[in-house]
Chains A and B, each alone.
Chain A
């Protein structure tokens, strides 16, 4: 009867959903790939440096030590500052130029002495016994030691007399006038002497026999340090001048010696061998000397021009002036390369280390008379001026640029003038040692050329042979006489202190053209 029956369900599909879904579709869309490029940007130039530099650099009278850090504010500050002070400064400058407020106003800072007086008078008894003359004096580099050399001024022959070099220390109290602090025995007369410019105990001397010797005064045993041997190339005639000069290429100084044999030789010190080695040599042969008016003199005897004095320029290390026996004044140069036409004597071996002699003469000043030039001194204040003196009693002021002397000062009436030296402190003052026994000091700034001071060496017939100013203590002047005495004088303050217009007057003198 009853049986299970399974009936299918009845499905009715919903109508509303279908209706809405009918309208939908899925679609894809894709945009095209975006096109892009890279490009970099950079600022042109670094403009943040801000260095303010003026465009016209060539016409700058002012050196630019610093650019003020480049900040414009600082520059503006400088401009404002200068603007503010300019008026005040210009007014002060103008008033100063016209003012006479300080005319003749001098301040006394130190004790001024107005006297020229002799403070020491020294001699060496054994030299005096032999009647030797003081031939040259020299102060050492510290200014406390004075050395004098004994010899003869009037001998013309070879002499084998022994002589002395004596030194006194003036700054140690108690100078003994009879006893020198150090006496060096020398086997021949000494004709030239020069202390080392920086080492206070080294002296060099030139002997009558033609040797050049170096002593060291601090060695008590034997002061002799080095000497030249008698070689074919050393001097054979008396050495009249020795000077310490800087050697080129080394810091040591060499000795330049000039002798009447016509040679000027430069020696270097080799202390281990106790010898002075010849480093350079110059010879003066008559034919090679540039003459200006010398062609008429007959050349007797040797063809060499004997050198009696020489002076190295302190301004220009290449130039030196040489005075000869015949009155020639020659300007020479160390670097000249012309070989000298030295007559080769027989028996002259070519020793190893011999030096070719060169002819250094460049220019000849007009000779005023044909007698030996005793002394030349270069001015320490002007690069072109030097003094020269000979036997005619005149001191000539020369300029290196002209052949004629600028000025001639009559120092003594008819006697020889043995030495002339400029003062180390006053540009216009010089001192001359005359044959009449007095040292005269002249001041070129004065209108009348008469001696400002005159120092007598005393004694009858004494001749003042040499003088030297002390560079450290400018008031001291040492002079030697033929009596064998060494005098030390102090100069007055007016002779040692520079006046305001002296350099100007010196420049004017140097610029004059000699007629």
Chain B
């Protein structure tokens, strides 16, 4: 009678902790990071094109909750602009849709004595640009 014995490693029960699978996960994280870098560079480039246009004083990107996520102005001014314009954009949008439910707000421009504020709205973001047209 022969006895069959298998050499069994205790960690055989947990295959995914072995070294080979670890490397795969790290590789995918690195790819993600590289891709994020690429996307971020494109975002910055677009914002830079807008910011360096003639007469532009400042650019702010606001998310759906009214919190600024990108800005070229100082902190207190940014927070002020973001809060006020977020509310105004919501009001403008509801005005347009109340008049005609099939219509929607595409762009908002406010002209004042000293400069012009432009707001490009979206479902998730808001782009605010302040330009001095007299320059």
Contact = CB atoms under 8 A, between A and B. Distances in A.
Interface of A: 31, 34, 36, 38-39, 41, 43-45, 47-48, 50, 52, 54-55, 60-66, 68, 72, 74-79, 81-86, 88-90, 92-94, 96-97, 99, 102, 498, 500-501
A96 B55 contact: yes
A-B interface, 9 closest residue pairs, ranked by CB to CB distance from nearest: A52-B36, A47-B29, A85-B120, A82-B46, A93-B53, A54-B40, A81-B125, A96-B133, A97-B54
27 contacts: A31-B5, A36-B10, A43-B17, A47-B25, A50-B32, A54-B40, A54-B41, A54-B44, A61-B48, A72-B32, A74-B124, A75-B43, A76-B39, A81-B122, A88-B107, A89-B118, A89-B120, A89-B129, A90-B49, A90-B53, A92-B118, A93-B56, A94-B53, A96-B116, A96-B131, A97-B53, A97-B55
Contact of A45 (B19, B26, B67): B26
A68 B125 CA distance: 12
A89 B116 CA distance: 13
Contact of B69 (A31, A34, A45, A65): A65
Nearest to B68: A65
B18 interface: yes
A399 B29 CA distance: 58
Nearest to B37: A54
Nearest to B73: A63
Secondary structure of the B contact surface, majority rule:
mixed
B50 A89 contact: yes
B25 A43 contact: yes
B109 interface: yes
B113 A66 contact: no
B89 interface: no
A86 B109 CA distance: 15
Nearest to B5: A31
A81 B17 CA distance: 40
A52 B120 contact: no
A488 to B, nearest CB: 28
A71 to B, nearest CB: 10
B95 interface: no
A47 B19 CA distance: 15
A88 to B, nearest CB: 6
A31 B50 contact: no
Contacts of A97: 53-55, 131, 133, 135
A203 to B, nearest CB: 34
Contacts of A44: 22, 26
A47 B71 contact: no
Nearest to A499: B113
B91 interface: no
A207 B35 CA distance: 75
A95 to B, nearest CB: 10
Contacts of A96: 55, 116, 131, 133
B42 interface: yes
Contacts of A76: 39
A79 B42 CA distance: 7
A61 B70 contact: no
B3 interface: yes
B72 A61 contact: yes
Nearest to B30: A47
Contacts of B63: 66, 68
Contacts of A60: 44
Contacts of A89: 50, 118, 120, 127, 129
B46 A75 contact: no
Contact of A501 (B44, B122, B134): B134
A75 B29 contact: no
B74 to A, nearest CB: 9
A64 B61 CA distance: 10
Given A41-B11, A65-B69, A92-B118, A500 B113 contact: yes
Contacts of A55: 37
Given A52-B33, A72-B36, A75-B43, A62 B120 contact: no
B55 A66 contact: no
A86 B50 contact: yes
B91 to A, nearest CB: 20
Contacts of A85: 120, 122, 127
Nearest to A94: B53
A79 B69 CA distance: 13
B111 interface: yes
A89 B11 CA distance: 60
Nearest to B67: A66
B70 A79 contact: no
A96 B111 CA distance: 10
Nearest to A99: B133
Given A50-B32, A97-B133, 8 more contacts: A31-B5, A44-B26, A66-B69, A75-B40, A81-B124, A84-B122, A85-B120, A92-B118
B107 A92 contact: yes
A74 to B, nearest CB: 8
